[in-house]
Amino acid sequence: MEQLFFYLEKPNKSANHLELFDFASQFQPVENGELLDSFDVYEVSTESLKKQKIKEKKEYVSENITSISQKTEKASNIEIATSSKNYQNRVEHVRMGIFTHEILSKIKTKKDVLKVLNSYLLEGTITAEEKASILERIDNTVNNPDYASYFEENLIIINERDMLSLEDGNSKTYRPDRLIKTVNGFIIVDFKTGSEKEKDQKQVELYQEKLEKFGKKVLKTDVIYI
């Protein structure tokens, strides 16, 4: 509340005096020998009329539960809902897929795998058990005969580098997971989780289109499912 105004009616001599009126009368000023009908009980300033912000205090009340209902239920009748095992497994599978994708997008050769994985472990991002699971998935990729050549040493690797393209006056960004630069041209590699989808192949073909627009030669595109 910013301001409060009182409009007080003078009581008749025969009536009982109002306590509020008596209180306000104590502060009634005199001007030219007459009592003023309108006055401020407390000094009013520009600062005092400004809206004040009040920080709300969060208060928590603890209460002991002595019974579950008026008719106390037996503990054996209480069921706590938990996520199903299948749901938990799906969530964990997705989580492992995300980390595997991230790490594959950061490494250049097979030798980088443990270094990047250990940094995730030291930061507390993954557990030792998760590290072992991710390592197994990455090993299956980097040692796969179809993909091993993408992780050899002495290659020029460009990981997750933005490609800017001007389209209809607007700037659009494209980011392949891995570009391998060879003497003869580029190889585009993109990592995906889950099942194969037609849109994944179209995505790498779009990357190829943009690179070729920049005057680069693309030798091959590949989508690796992890």
Listed residue (178, 185, 187, 182) closest to 155, CA to CA:
182
Those residues of the chain that have pLDDT short of 50 are none
Contact 210, 174 (CB under 8 A): yes
Q: Which residues of 169-184 are buried (b: 16+ CB within 10 A; e: fewer)?
A: eeeeeeebbbbbeeee
CATH number at residue 202: 3.30.70
Q: How far out from the chain centre does Cα 1 lie?
A: 37
Listed residue (165, 154, 179, 177) closest to 226, CA to CA:
177
Q: Give the model's pLDDT for residue 217.
A: 96
Q: Is 76 a member of any domain? A: no
- What distance in Å separates the CA atoms of residue 123 and residue 102, rounded to the nearest whole number? 15
Q: Is 179 helix (H, G, I), strand (E, B) or coil?
A: strand
Amino acid at 176: P
DSSP annotation of 72 reads P
Q: Is 5 a member of any domain? A: no
Contact 117, 159 (CB under 8 A): no
Q: Is 136 a member of any domain? A: no
Listed residue (109, 127, 192) closest to 118, CA to CA:
127
- pTM for this prediction: 0.59
Listed residue (73, 140, 39, 98) closest to 106, CA to CA:
98
Q: Is 209 a member of any domain? A: yes
Domains contained in the chain, number: 2
Domain edge (last residue) among 29, 49, 69? 49
Q: Is 131 a member of any domain? A: no
Q: Is 211 a member of any domain? A: yes
Q: Is 35 a member of any domain? A: yes
Tokens of 165: 């393209």
Q: Is 64 a member of any domain? A: no
HSE toward the beta carbon, residue 122, CA cutoff 13 A: 6
Angular region, 185: left φ>0, alpha ψ -120 to 50, beta rest: left
- What distance in Å separates the CA atoms of residue 99 and residue 226, rounded to the nearest whole number? 10
Domain that holds residue 35: 19-49
